[in-house]
Structure formats: C-alpha cells, structure tokens
Chain A
Amino acid sequence: MRNVRIINGIPATKSRYGSHYGERVIEIGGEKYREWIPWRSKLSALILKGHEIEFRGDERVLYLGASTGTTLSHLADVIDEGVIYAVEYSAKPFIKLLELAKERENVIPLLYDASKPWLYSGIVEKVDFIYQDVAQRNQVGILKANADFFLKNDGSFLLMVKAKSIDSTAEPKEVFDAVVEKISRDFSILETGSLEPYHKDHIFILGVKI
C-alpha cells in the first residue's frame, strides 16, 4: 500500500505528523514512520496478512466508525493528498478524533450515526472508497445506505465484520456466510478473508459498487 512499509515485521506509515495514540515513531533515511500495530487496527492486520489494496493518494474516502481515530490516522497518512470524511456517532471517542482532525488537514470529522446517512447527505461529496468498521448490528444495511448516497459507480469499499456484533450467540462462520451472501446481492465482492490471529472472529470484505 502507498506510504506503507514493513519495519521489523510490523507495518508503519510514512507520516509528517507525530504520534497520535502513543504509537512509536521510527526514523529511516530522514523520513518518519508511525508504527501501525496489527492488534490495534484491522487494516494493519489485513496488510500484514499479505492482502493488498491500492490507493493513488488523492482519493475521497468515507470512513464509517472512526472511533478514536487510530486506524484513521494511518489511512490519513496513506491518502495524504485526498480527503477523508470520518463519521463516528459516539461522543466520548469523538473527543480524541477531534484532536486528530484539528491536526490533519485531510480529515473532516462528522459526529453522526452512520445508519442515518441522510443527516449528512448535504455535507459529504461523492467518494471513491468507503471504509466501514462499525459495531452496530445492521452492518450490511449501513453499508448499502451509505453506498447509495455517496459511493461513485466503480467505487470500492472495505467492510470489517465482527461476528459478535451481529449475533453474539451464532457460530461466527454462519454469521459471515450470511453477511457475504447479503452483500453479494448489491455489490460485487473482490476478496474476503479472516483477520486471525490479530482480531478474533473478524473478517474483511472488499468489494465494488456495480
């Protein structure tokens, strides 16, 4: 991935900024890299497991479930010439997210419920990419609604699915199969995979809007 390199077995992103959440900053050849620990970020786990997502660096991105901005801060390093609309509906982690947004020019913080995209429909532009990591039960519905509002045709998405958030009693495999089936009705799926051992009972789904 753009601006990413593996240092001592752990991904890191080239960054003009300092540490956001206590991660180490490593200097190599006069350039600063922020360590991206796979246990803390699903996207980092995905990279470390050898999956590849290409970015040009000037994309427009809608990030649903930004939380305190851990993963977001690294994605903002990758998309350093683009714009990321970061949606998070919980006020507590948003405080930390705001700190990041004040520092980074390419992050626009939005305190909204991702399941109600119409509330921010006049703010977010048409985007090339949706990154979704929300703990709400209706994850597929949230992706669909946001893609309808904002995702360009041929735009892609990356969905992080946590089995327990959807059904805490069912077998993870059954939950995943159901989610993949549901998504394939509206999107074309490029790749799926597990995030073990870094994130238990999680999978990712990479797809495209057709």
Chain B
Amino acid sequence: MPYKLWFGVFEDELKLAEKFEDSFVNAVNEKPIPFNVAELGIKVLGREYYRTLRRVAIGVAEKRIREELSSDERYIISLVKALESVEEIINVLKEKEEDLEANAIGEKFLEAIENMKELRDEIEREIDVVMAKIAPNLYEVAGAKLGAKLIEKFGGIKKLAFASSNKIQIIGAERSLYKAIARMKRGKDAKIPKHGIIFLHGFVRNLPKKKRGKMARFLASKISIAAKIDYFRGELDEGLFESVKRRFEELRREK
C-alpha cells in the first residue's frame, strides 16, 4: 500500500514529489502510517526538513484561507435559503394532506412530509456545523439558526458587523415598522415593532410580552458585538453569552 506523505509517496521506496505544495495537499491516508513521517523525511531532506515543511504549510494555508473565507459565507446563505424553502414546502404539503386525508393518496403525502422533515433536519445540522466554524460568537449568542438567518438577511457577516443594533433588532419586521412610521407621520398613534426575526431566540420568545422589547434590544446589541468579533477577530469571547443569559434571568425575575 502506498503511503502518501507531504514530500512524496512511499511504497517500498520513496518517490520524492516534484512540487511539495501538491503532495502536501494530497497527503491523505485512510489509516495511520506505521512509521514516523519525520524520521523518513529527515533522511531525505536532511536538516532542512522542518524549515521546508513550515514554508510549504504556510504557503498552502495562505492560499486556502482566501478561498475559504468567501465560500463558507456563500454556503451558509444558500443553506438558509434552502431551509426556508423546505419549511415552506412542508407547510404546503401539510395543508394538502389535510384536504386529502380521507383518500388513499393522503398516505403518500404523509410520506413526502416525513422525507421533507428529514431533509430539514439535515440542513439544520449542517448550518450548526458551519456556523460554529465561521461565526463562533454569533453561534453562542444568537444560536446557529438565528445567526445564519441574520447573515442571510444582511448579506454577509461583514454587513451584519457594520449594521446598527436597532436594525438587527427589527429586521424581518420591516413592513410593520414602515407602516408605523407612515402612521406617525400623519400624526396618528402607532406601535413600533419590538422585534423581527430576533423573536426566534428563546430568550425573547419565552419572556412575557411586556418584557420582550427590553430583551430584544439587549440581545440585538450583543449580537452586533458578536458579529463584530466574528468579523474582525474570529475567536470566541466566553463572556458574551454569559451577559445575555444574566440579562434574561434579570428580566425573568423582574416584576
């Protein structure tokens, strides 16, 4: 069995790669290699082994970073769009199933609904994995699904990071917002929406109606910070979610 190493392929004897960048990317082996890669490498490359390895690793990573940064974001946006379509399909199918329940064909609809639900769960799991990777702070503070929906609505992490937190608070409720503004312009009373898709967050949804506005405002500001950290630093800030949780507990106890 040939062993694929970053500097070549070993099968009985070593065949040194022409371009280390290519062999580096192809150094994939199903099972652990039974010998020490570096020992063999040092025999071939001598004292330059680690220096060469490091140079190739840095070169390959630099190229891949640029590709990954944009493709992951496009992927998450596509996933969210797909998820929304699948959810819509499930609703439509359910409606039709109720109409046809009494007939034999109703059974077929139930089957289709089950299939669609499986697909939906699969997409949600994928969103979870990708969000944890590309936006760890949004993942913690907003949750995978809401975080992904926000990225999709704003058209990318950068745009979300630069958005104002009140925009984050009401996005998804634009229609009622502009309706309210129009009414106010005419001098009438109007209710400004307190939350848009942010309502999907358990901390907002699970509070009594009177307190949801406060929570939504606080959560939106923390989501804004989370997006900024994800965009600029990309490292998880442990304290952020704690502060959101504390605020939720506070509001819950408050009379």
Contacts and interface: CB of A to CB of B under 8 A. Distances in A.
Contacts, number: 111
Contact of B132 (A92, A135, A148, A199): A135
B255 interface: no
Contact of B69 (A92, A101, A123): A92
B32 A92 contact: no
A65 B254 CA distance: 40
A83 B39 CA distance: 13
A110 interface: yes
B4 interface: yes
Interface residues of A, number: 38
Interface string B211-247: 0000000000000000000110111101000100000
Interface in B61-81: 61-62, 64-65, 68-69, 72
The main secondary structure of chain A at its interface with chain B is mixed
A55 interface: no
A68 B36 contact: no
Interface string B1-18: 001111000000000000
Given A83-B50, A90-B234, A91-B69, A108 B57 contact: yes
Interface in A95-134: 95-96, 98, 101-102, 105, 107-111, 118-126
* Max chain B Cβ within 10 angstroms of own Cβ: one of A93, A123, A135: A123
Nearest to A165: B132
Nearest to B57: A108
B136 A105 contact: no
Nearest to A67: B235
Contacts of B6: 122-123
Interface in A71-89: 83, 89
Given A121-B32, A125-B36, A93 B58 contact: no
* Max chain A Cβ within 10 angstroms of own Cβ: one of B27, B31, B136, B234: B234
Given A83-B50, A123-B27, A135-B136, A148 B39 contact: no
Interface in B39-91: 39, 41, 50-51, 53-54, 57-58, 60-62, 64-65, 68-69, 72
B57 A90 contact: no
B28 interface: yes
B64 A90 contact: no
B132 A121 contact: no
A94 B72 CA distance: 14
A89 to B, nearest CB: 6
Given A122-B3, A123-B6, A101 B58 contact: yes
A109 B54 CA distance: 7
A119 B28 contact: yes
B58 to A, nearest CB: 6
B7 to A, nearest CB: 9
20 contacts: A67-B235, A68-B233, A68-B235, A70-B235, A89-B133, A90-B133, A90-B234, A91-B65, A91-B69, A94-B61, A105-B54, A109-B61, A111-B64, A118-B29, A120-B27, A122-B26, A123-B5, A123-B53, A126-B36, A150-B32
A-B CB proximity, top 3 nearest: A92-B234, A122-B27, A125-B38
